[in-house]
Amino acid sequence: QVQLAESGGGSVQAGGSLRLSCEVSGYTSRFYMGWFRHSAGTSASDREGVAVIDSTGASYYADSVKGRFTISQDRNKNTLYLQMNSLKPEDTATYYCAADPNLRLWVGRSVGVLAVYAWGQGTLVTVSS
Q: How far apart are CA 45 and CA 84, in angstroms?
A: 24
Residue 11: per-residue pLDDT: 98
- SS in 3 state form for 60-126? EECCCCCCCEEEEEECCCCEEEEEECCCCHHHCEEEEEEEECCHHHHECCEEEHHHCCEECCCEEEE
Tell whether the torsion through CA atoms of 124, 54, 48 and 5 is positive or negative: negative
Residue 43: per-residue pLDDT: 84
Residue 77: per-residue pLDDT: 86
Contact 112/45 with Cβ under 8 angstroms? yes
Residue 29: per-residue pLDDT: 79
Residue 41: per-residue pLDDT: 85
Averages of pLDDT over runs of 10 residues in the chain (129 residues) are 95 98 89 95 88 95 98 92 98 97 95 94 97
Residue 62: per-residue pLDDT: 98
